[in-house]
Every structure is written in structure tokens, then in C-alpha cells.
Chains A and B, each alone.
Chain A
Amino acid sequence: MNAMFRISGAGRLSQAKTASFTFDDKSYIGIEGDTLASALLANGVHLVGRSFKYHRPRGVLSAGAEEPNALVQIVRDDARKTPNVRATVQELYDGLTAHSQNRWPSLAFDVGAVNDVASPLFSAGFYYKTFMWPKSAWKNLYEPKIRAAAGLGVSPDQPDPDHYASRYAHCEVLVLGGGAAGIAAALAAAETGVRVILADEQAEFGGSLRFESGARIDDQDGYAWAQGAIAKLKAMDNVRVLSRTTAFGYYAQNFVGLVERVSDHLKNPGHDLARERLWQVRAGRVVIATGAIERHMVFANNDRPGVMLASAARTYLNHFGVAVGRNVGVYTANDSAYAAAIDLKKAGVNIAAIVDLRDNPAGPAIDEARALGIEINFGRAVVSAGGKLRVSSMTVQPKNGGGGRTIPVDAILMSAGWTPSVHLFSQSRGKVAFNDETKRFVPGTYAQDCVSVGACNGTDGLDATVDEAYAAGAKAAKEAGGKAGKGAKPKVDAGESWSRGMLGAAPGAGPGTTVKAFVDFQNDVTAKDIRQAVHEGMRSIEHVKRFTTNGMATDQGKTSNMHGLAIAADELGKPIPQVGLTTFRAPYTPVTFGSIVGHARGALFDPTRRTATHGWAASQGAVFEDVGHWKRAWYFPRAGEDMHAAVNRECVTVRKVGGLFDASTLGKIEVVGPDAAKFMELLYTNPWEKLETGRCRYGIMLREDGFIYDDGVVGRLAPDRFHVTTTTGGAPRVMNHMEDYLQTEFPHLNVWLTSITEQWAVIAVQGPKSRDIIAPLVEGIDMSDEAMPHMSVREGKICGVPTRLFRMSFTGERGFEVNVPADYGEAVWEALWAEGQKHGATAYGTETMHVLRAEKGYIIVGQDTDGTVTPNDAGLDWAVGKKKTDFVGIRGLTRPDLVAKGRKQLVGLKTKDPKVVLEEGAQIVTDPKQPIPMKMIGHVTSSYWSENCGRSIALALVAGGRDRMGETLYVPMPNGTIEVEITGMVFVDEKGERLNG
């Protein structure tokens, strides 16, 4: 059973293979190979959507990617509801479900269409002018209402269940576009043996050959030739042929992004197939063969369903076997619409009349139309289309005015001429040039190794196109290293050719008129809107574009840009090239986020780093926090404990007995070589030459500007070997900083740097019992205070494996850090844990580590410093070698601002009410009664509840802080001001006796 407008014997689809689908819940029958648009048209459905702003009924304008009107929502299931799918691109599959968009309650009766009646209110710049006052209403009232009324489809509300593939590819010649030009270029290039990739956005290759019934190449119908050539290319090992693949972006150095729609056309894609595949292609040479796009005529009500591009009607007839109407009018300013009229007439469709704006055109197409008995009107214009949900008539007048007549039609085919698709050329940063004779922009100056061929290069005629493309393909291949080809150039026996046409508003829609003659269908921009923008002072085409939104919809103005430009130029009284073209930007057609993201989502979005004890910590119920890429145990709650209770217990236990903490994430760098000490002298503020082997020192690294960059404990393992630790987050940048200086400023130093962060697992054992916990497991190291004092490092064995055993403390207690090869980390941890259990030690996480170090006033770089803090500001002047003559940052430290009085200094804070815990980042003022905005003199950098102190503690950067000891300051918060007292930074064991306790 064929649909009403399917013409038996016409088109290339097998009419026996039917596919059922629904549109707005009504069932229809199409055939395999249809697009949704062709299947709807076959069923006589022209009304497919409502426009963005005015909610005007809209039909199918085109048969390709340039479609601005026929946007639908394709629904596969609850999670797969793709909005704004162009019905002209979506291939039909059995069971396809589509819905129209932007209408309520129904497509035929849409309440929002009141906007059309009220359209004088909604002209260009409407939003800017109308919704300005009151300011608050924009966020709460205007924007939500406008968004609801002007939606373009509905986003899916569930995570995308599909997956998306990604490939990199390299080739000598990349051909973009698989029409006659692209195929000819690919053949020529492929014959030389180089790697060729040919991509086309359509399901089948052929481009304009899909509708050009007059084309014959190598003694075949043009489209048949294309299929044969593609089969030949596919059979070649050096050629990759990609259909349903859009080149959406042209980037630097011939890097081109392609997106291949892998399974959107399938009834049951299954989960094995990706939905789309992103190709990132690096090509030696690129041949751009992207063709041209037909323009519509700009006249009143040119958006009525049934009004469409002439070439689209030809495509629907010659490829899909669908007649777009039974009584069709034609409105043209060039020859190409004649071919549509002739093809339809021959297929039995009545052509009511051809209306040609030109005065006395002549040529074979006109002769043939006349011979077929079609009424032709020269020098006349269609000034209005009648009908609402479907065009019902066209009103024809002499183009310079005068009496008109109304001709009943059920479709109008229009052609204002062809616009070369220079999008990708322009994206390659090539400069377009305006050809005044043919009134079109064509590629001018090239910026990359590419060449445009065929219609996108302004080359008219199939013969010339194939010549040009074949030569360009051969040349590109040769330049990219190919040998001479042996093939023969395709022979064009017959082809079609046209180029002229018109730009801008047609008669009846010109200056002084207020009719709705649409320039940009998707954004509802009329000729009047463009003129109004100029009247209101927009001079640059970029301003006109933004004020009117012309060309800013998802179709990127493929049909509208040239008309809009011409109308603006006319109104400005300037020639087109002086007004200039707006910039073409990627993507050429909308690209899904899925294809860009590929597999990089969920767990694969970013790498996760886990320490050797991760599994053990997880089995103990640890709660983890993200620190950079690392997962770190945050705290270890026992049954019934919340975070607060767990941290309090951990803090107290460490100071009373001991605790185990995984410090593996700290950055570790081994600095080795005869000049290692010299290098350390230059990179850190501290003196290193005299540090004895086996001893450690807390080091500070500055940037050249004198601000703290990183810190960490450094152990000297040998005269020529330092084990440097860095902050967890700072490890990569410290390594880079060291390499930079070593390679470029101090290349005379004989030093080797190695990142050893992941080679060593680090188990901190802290607390009065720490030595008792470790000692039973250690061989070959005397751990007595005399033999191994605080801040020393020894090499030996623990649990039978090598260790670098540091005696150091980030808690203020006697403490050790056990470094073992990472593979042994978990086993050594478990052994230490078993020992610790005998004493009642705890495992503790990063939160307890933070509290314990704050109790001692130990800073964390990046939390208590922010890149504008000097060692002096942080109270660490003692770590700067006073006798040193050079280190990175030495000059920065003496900059006037860095030695000025009143700098913010790190101090301790105690709240007057010990139970109140300050918020980190809270601002500090001297007088809470001063008017807002208050003068802030500092901020809280660290703040915790300290169970060991039985009160809250905090660190803060305060202007002139060290001169304010004992002073009362204020922290204004939303629910009241908090009184604080400035104190020293050490809250526990000020004398440091517990380090040996």
C-alpha cells in the first residue's frame, strides 16, 4: 500500500519495503530509505512544526542538513528523546516515533500562535528592550516564561544510555563531501596509492546527483555512476569511505573533526553499536567538496507549509519518489527551479505556473518547460502565499507593481540561487572573496593545505566540476607523496549548470513593507527585522546578526545569511563586500555532547589514584575524600560514630597512644648527583650543604617572586642523594619547576631528578607509642633517641623489606614515617596495624591529620597560604638561609611590597566562646559596627574543633597579625558577629617536648 503522494515508478527506493512510523501519535507508512521528511511528505503531511518565536506553522523547506523548519523530537524510550532532529536528515526505520515541537495543545491549534498576531511587539531587539525593568523580574519571571514559550524541543531528563566511540585517523588526502566533485577527487587521489578518507553527511553518496536527472557520467545516470565509483573506492585498501559522516569542524594544521552517525538510522541498534563515532583526522591535504545550498525567495508568508526549495522538491521526486503537491507553483530568480518544474510535470504533477523575476531569460530549461506547456510569467513576483497550515495560493504581480492575480496551488517551489558552502574553508581560516558578477562569496586566500572544488568553489557545471575536482585530487595526492595515478578521469556526458540568482528581499517585501517575509526561518527573522536593525543604528553585520539573531539558530544561517547580508547592505547603501560576512564557526551542524565526550564519562572521566592501603581502609569502613586524583581515607568511623565523633576519638588516641596514617600521596622526588646539594640550595630557601647524611630538614620552596610555592621534609640519604617530599597536590608542579630550572637555568649542575611518589608507600606512625609499634618489625636500624633523633632518616628493613625510615612528625608527637616499596605497602601496614592494636593505637584519616597539625600550628601550603604569602608572613623566616647568596625567590623576597609593614601574617585565633567553630574563609574586621562594606583585615584559613584542647582552634591571615597578640577582633557572619582573640599558632605543647615524649 503506497502513501498518497508516492509516485509509482519514480525515485530509487524499493517501494515494497515498507516501514511504519508515528508522528504526533498518528501512524503512517513509509518505505526503507526514506527520511522522516520524505515519508511525511509521501503521506501528504507538510505541517511538521511551529516556529521558535511566532509559533507559525512550518513545513519542510529542504531535503538536507540546512533544514531550519522541520525539527522534531525522536523518541526511542524514556532516556532517548532527542530534540531538534532535522526530519530531512533522520532516516526512517520501522517503528520510528516522532513528535512535533514548540506547540500546545496541538500542532494544528497552538495557543502560542497568538505571538504571530502580536508580532509587532516581538520585532528585532524585542527582548533587549522589553524585559529590562524591573531588573529582578528577568531571573524570576521573564526568563522562565520566555524559555517555556520559546523552547526548541525538550531535553531528555535521564542519563544518556548510549555510548559513543572515538577514533584518530591519519591520511594523505581527506575529501569532504561525496557528490560528483568529492568522488572525482577521491578517485584521482586513491589511484596514486596514498591513504584517502572520503566523508559525506548523507546515507548515500552522490550529493546533487540525487536530484539532477540530467546528469550523465561515463555513459550512466549520474547517481548510478556515483554508486559505482563508491563501490570501487570501498574496495581499495588505501581508501576509507565514511557515509552519514559530517565534517563539523576544521582546525589548525589540517585537523578535521568528523562525526559519524552509526546507529540513529537503525530500528534496533543494540548496545554493541556506538550511537555516534567521533573521527579526529589529521590530513596531509584536504579537498573541500561541500557543494552549494539553494536559497529561498524572501516574500510574504514564504514560510507556509508547502513552500520549499525547488531542489528539495526534485530530491523528493527523483530520489524518494514523492510528489510534494498535486498543483505546484514555482517562484524563481534563476534557471534551476525550471528543472524541478520539468521533472514534476513529467511525473504527472500539474505545474500551475512558473513565476520568474527575471525579465527575459532564455535557455534550454526555459524552452523545455515551455514545450511541456507550462505557464511561464517573466518579470513577475510572488508577493504573498495564501493559506495557513498549508499553502493554498500564490499572489502574482508584475515585479514593479500593478494588478495581481491569485493562483491556487498546494505547494510553491522557490529558488533564489545557490550559495557556495564555504563553511569549512572559512573555518580553516581561509579568506572568502566576493564575486560581484555571480553575487557570491567563494574561497579566496587559503590559510592551510586545502583546496575547494566544485560548487563550493563557485565552479558551475558538472563537466567543469569533475575536471577541477579530479585534477585537484591528483595534485593533492602528489603533494602528499603519492605516485602518478593510472586511472581515467570520469567523462561527463551531460550535466546541469546554473549560477545566477538574487540576494535579499523580493518585490513586495522590500523597504517600507512590513510583511512577514522570512529571511531566517529557524529564528523567525524577517526582512523588516534586518532593516529595523540598521535603522536602530547597527552598522556592522556582526551587530545586525546579534540584534536580529539572524543566522544564529542551530542551522547557522545556511539559507539565510546571504539574504540577511544583502538586505543590510542595501539598507546601509554599501556594496556587499564592504559590509562583510559574519564568521563561520564550528560546528557545521549540531554535534551531540556524547560524541565529543566519547568514553570519558563516569568512572572513565578522570583517572582515580588509590594508595596501597586503599583496600584495607575500605574494609575498615573508612570514608574517603578526593584529593586531586587521589582517594584518601578521610576518617575511620566505628559503629555509631559520626564524622565528628570519629575524628575526636582519632585525635585523642594519637596523642595518648598512637595512630597509623597513610601518607603515600605526598609527592616524593629523588634528587641525585654530584651537584645535588648545590641544586637543593638553589631550589629551596634553606641551607643544605651542611645537612648531615641521615638527617632531615623542613624545606620551603619559593617562586622567583618570593611567595611560598611548596614545602616538605627532605632527608639526605647520602652526600649526593636527597629524598624530597612535596605536598600531595603540588607534586607534579614541583617536579616541573625543578626540571625547568635544572634544564634551562642551571644546566651546568650534574643532577638527576626522579619522581618516586608511586614507588614508595608511606605509613606515618605517630604518637607516644610509635617507636614501640615499629621497633619489633625493624631490622638494622637503632631507633633510640641518641642514634635516631627527631628529623633523621635511616635505611634498613622492616618486615624483611627495604625501608627508608624517617623520624619526623606532622602531629607534634614522637613520630615516624615508614617508606616501603609500594607493592609491600599493604602488608607492612597490616603488620604495623597488628602491632598498634597491642597498644590501642588507631588508624586515622586526613581530617584528623589536619586537626593535629593545626593544633601544632603547622601550615598546609595552599590552605594557609594562597600564593601571596612569604615565609615571613607564615612565621617561617627561620627556614630562610640568611647567609645564602642565591636561591629561587631570593630577590623577590626583598621587593618593596614584600618587606612593607602591615602585611597579612599567619596567627592563631581563639573564639571567645570556645564552643564556636569558625568557618574557613570567614572575613575578619576590627570594628563590627562599621558600615557595610566593611574593611576586612584578614580571613580564617584553617578552623577545627580540637578535642585535645577542649575548644575550637583556628589559623588566620591577619594584617599586622603578630603585633596584635591578645587583641580582640570580629568575624561578622550572617547570623551574628563572632568575637575572636589573636593568639600564637601553637595550641598544644608549645615547647615541643612531646616530639621526644
Chain B
Amino acid sequence: MLLIRCPYCEEERPELEFRNAGEAHIARPTNIAAESDDDFEKFFFIRANPKGVIYERWRHIHGCARFFNAVRDTVTDKFVMTYKAGEPKPAKLPGASK
């Protein structure tokens, strides 16, 4: 069972308290009705599904109930960091020297 740091509660809590909510940093277009079919497809259906570092959303559903973002390695399952919803994608990851 993973330990996940909730950036709102500011502590690590067991995975049981959380629910994954899919890829992060996919903003809903402000004028969504005007989106082309291709753009809507990219927005709604297409996901990166990387092997390695993924930016994803989690919800501390059985805790503070907040949605937040996390950076996780899909190979090792290790969380690189978590940050609040609405904060920009981190430019540099901690420990990423190479």
C-alpha cells in the first residue's frame, strides 16, 4: 500500500484514503462548445499513459476531500512529489539531476 502526501493536509496518509482521478493538467476549454472534433478528441479521449513519470490527479476522498496533483513514476510506483490543484506543472522535479 502506497503512502501519499496530501498537499492540503501536509502529511503522508495511506493509499486507502485516496482515489486516483486520471491525468493532470488537462484543462477544460473555456469555450468548449466551439471546439473542433479533433480538439475535443484530444481533450477528452487521448491520454499520455507514459512508462515513467506521470502527472496525475488524486483525491483525498476519505480525508480532506480535496483534489490535488501528483508526480508518480509508473514503473516504480514512487511519488516524486504532490502539489495543490491549480498550481502549475513543476518545471523541475526534486532529485531529477539527469
Asked if chains A and B come from one complex, the reply is: yes
Which residues of B from 17 to 51 have beta carbons under 8 Å from A? Answer: 19, 21, 27-28, 31-33, 35, 37, 40, 44
- Asked if B1 and A896 sit within 8 Å, CB to CB, the answer is no
**Given contacts A253-B3, A895-B40, are A743 and B32 in contact (CB under 8 A)?**
no
Given B3, B27, B33, B44, which contacts A890 in the complex, CB threshold below 8 Å? B33
**Given contacts A740-B21, A743-B67, A744-B86, are A886 and B32 in contact (CB under 8 A)?**
yes
Which residues of A from 243 to 257 have beta carbons under 8 Å from B? Answer: 251-253, 255
Chain A residues whose CB sits within 8 angstroms of the CB of B86 once the complex forms: 744, 747
**Given contacts A252-B2, A736-B61, A740-B67, are A891 and B35 in contact (CB under 8 A)?**
yes
- Asked if A429 and B1 sit within 8 Å, CB to CB, the answer is no
Chain B residues whose CB sits within 8 angstroms of the CB of A280 once the complex forms: 1
- Asked if B44 and A744 sit within 8 Å, CB to CB, the answer is no
Interface residues of chain B: helix, strand, loop or mixed (majority): loop
Min CB gap B91→A, angstroms: 21
Given B3, B44, B57, which contacts A704 in the complex, CB threshold below 8 Å? B44
Task: Let me know if B9 is at the binding interface, CB within 8 A.
Answer: no
Task: Let me know if A111 is at the binding interface, CB within 8 A.
Answer: no
Cα of A757 to Cα of B28 in the assembled complex, Å: 30
**Given contacts A255-B1, A744-B86, A890-B33, are A736 and B40 in contact (CB under 8 A)?**
no
Given B3, B21, B32, B77, which contacts A282 in the complex, CB threshold below 8 Å? B3
The total number of A-B Cβ pairs within 8 Å is 53
Cα of A255 to Cα of B19 in the assembled complex, Å: 19
Which residues of A from 851 to 910 have beta carbons under 8 Å from B? Answer: 885-886, 890-892, 894-896
Interface residues of chain A: helix, strand, loop or mixed (majority): mixed
- Asked if A743 and B33 sit within 8 Å, CB to CB, the answer is no
Chain A: which residue is nearest B2 at the CB level?
A252
- Asked if A743 and B85 sit within 8 Å, CB to CB, the answer is yes
Cα of A282 to Cα of B14 in the assembled complex, Å: 10
Chain A: how many interface residues by the 8 Å CB criterion?
A: 25
Chain B residues whose CB sits within 8 angstroms of the CB of A570 once the complex forms: none
- Asked if A705 and B67 sit within 8 Å, CB to CB, the answer is no
Task: Let me know if A447 is at the binding interface, CB within 8 A.
Answer: yes
Task: Let me know if A745 is at the binding interface, CB within 8 A.
Answer: yes
Which residues of B from 57 to 98 have beta carbons under 8 Å from A? Answer: 57, 59, 61, 65-67, 76-78, 85-86
- Asked if A705 and B1 sit within 8 Å, CB to CB, the answer is no
Q: What 0/1 pattern do residues 420 to 432 of A give for CB contact below 8 A with B?
A: 0000000001000
- Asked if A744 and B57 sit within 8 Å, CB to CB, the answer is yes
Q: What 0/1 pattern do residues 727 to 756 of A give for CB contact below 8 A with B?
A: 000000000100110011101000000000
Min CB gap A252→B, angstroms: 5
Which residues of A from 217 to 263 have beta carbons under 8 Å from B? Answer: 251-253, 255
Chain B residues whose CB sits within 8 angstroms of the CB of A886 once the complex forms: 31-33
Min CB gap A367→B, angstroms: 51
Chain A: which residue is nearest B14 at the CB level?
A282
Min CB gap A470→B, angstroms: 29
**Given contacts A745-B28, A885-B33, are A253 and B2 in contact (CB under 8 A)?**
yes
**Given contacts A252-B1, A704-B44, A736-B61, are A743 and B66 in contact (CB under 8 A)?**
yes
**Given contacts A252-B2, A744-B57, are A895 and B37 in contact (CB under 8 A)?**
yes
- Asked if B32 and A744 sit within 8 Å, CB to CB, the answer is no
- Asked if B37 and A896 sit within 8 Å, CB to CB, the answer is yes
Min CB gap B20→A, angstroms: 12
Cα of A255 to Cα of B21 in the assembled complex, Å: 24
Cα of A891 to Cα of B33 in the assembled complex, Å: 5
Chain A: which residue is nearest B27 at the CB level?
A745
Cα of A252 to Cα of B78 in the assembled complex, Å: 8
Chain A: which residue is nearest B85 at the CB level?
A744
Cα of A896 to Cα of B41 in the assembled complex, Å: 12
Cα of A892 to Cα of B32 in the assembled complex, Å: 9
Min CB gap B42→A, angstroms: 12
Chain B residues whose CB sits within 8 angstroms of the CB of A891 once the complex forms: 32-33, 35, 40
Chain B residues whose CB sits within 8 angstroms of the CB of A705 once the complex forms: 44
- Asked if A736 and B59 sit within 8 Å, CB to CB, the answer is yes
Cα of A758 to Cα of B78 in the assembled complex, Å: 38
Cα of A885 to Cα of B35 in the assembled complex, Å: 12
Chain B residues whose CB sits within 8 angstroms of the CB of A739 once the complex forms: 59, 65, 67
Cα of A745 to Cα of B21 in the assembled complex, Å: 14
Chain B residues whose CB sits within 8 angstroms of the CB of A890 once the complex forms: 32-33
Chain B residues whose CB sits within 8 angstroms of the CB of A740 once the complex forms: 21, 59, 67
Min CB gap A229→B, angstroms: 32
Chain B: which residue is nearest A732 at the CB level?
B61
Chain A residues whose CB sits within 8 angstroms of the CB of B61 once the complex forms: 736
Given A255, A736, A892, which contacts B44 in the complex, CB threshold below 8 Å? A892
| Listed residue (A252, A282, A429, A739) with the most chain B CB atoms within 10 angstroms of its CB | A252
Chain B: which residue is nearest A889 at the CB level?
B32
Chain B residues whose CB sits within 8 angstroms of the CB of A895 once the complex forms: 37, 40
Chain A residues whose CB sits within 8 angstroms of the CB of B85 once the complex forms: 743-744, 747
Cα of A744 to Cα of B87 in the assembled complex, Å: 11
Chain A: which residue is nearest B39 at the CB level?
A891
Chain A: which residue is nearest B40 at the CB level?
A891
Cα of A896 to Cα of B21 in the assembled complex, Å: 27
| Listed residue (B32, B40, B57, B85) with the most chain A CB atoms within 10 angstroms of its CB | B32
Min CB gap A935→B, angstroms: 28
Min CB gap A279→B, angstroms: 13
Q: What 0/1 pattern do residues 345 to 379 of A give for CB contact below 8 A with B?
A: 00000000000000000000000000000000000
Cα of A483 to Cα of B82 in the assembled complex, Å: 31
Chain B: which residue is nearest A251 at the CB level?
B1
Min CB gap A169→B, angstroms: 13
Chain B: which residue is nearest A746 at the CB level?
B28
Cα of A747 to Cα of B86 in the assembled complex, Å: 9
Chain A residues whose CB sits within 8 angstroms of the CB of B27 once the complex forms: 745
Enumerate 15 A-B pairs (CB-CB under 8 Å) in ascending A order. A253-B1, A253-B2, A282-B3, A429-B76, A705-B44, A736-B19, A736-B59, A739-B67, A743-B85, A744-B85, A745-B27, A886-B31, A892-B44, A894-B33, A895-B40
Given contacts A447-B76, A745-B27, A891-B35, 9 further A-B contacts (CB under 8 A): A252-B77, A282-B3, A740-B21, A747-B86, A886-B31, A886-B32, A890-B32, A891-B33, A895-B37
Chain A interface (Cβ < 8 Å from any Cβ of B): 251-253, 255, 280, 282, 429, 447, 704-705, 736, 739-740, 743-745, 747, 885-886, 890-892, 894-896
7 shortest interchain CB distances as A-B pairs: A891-B32, A745-B28, A743-B67, A253-B3, A890-B33, A744-B85, A255-B1
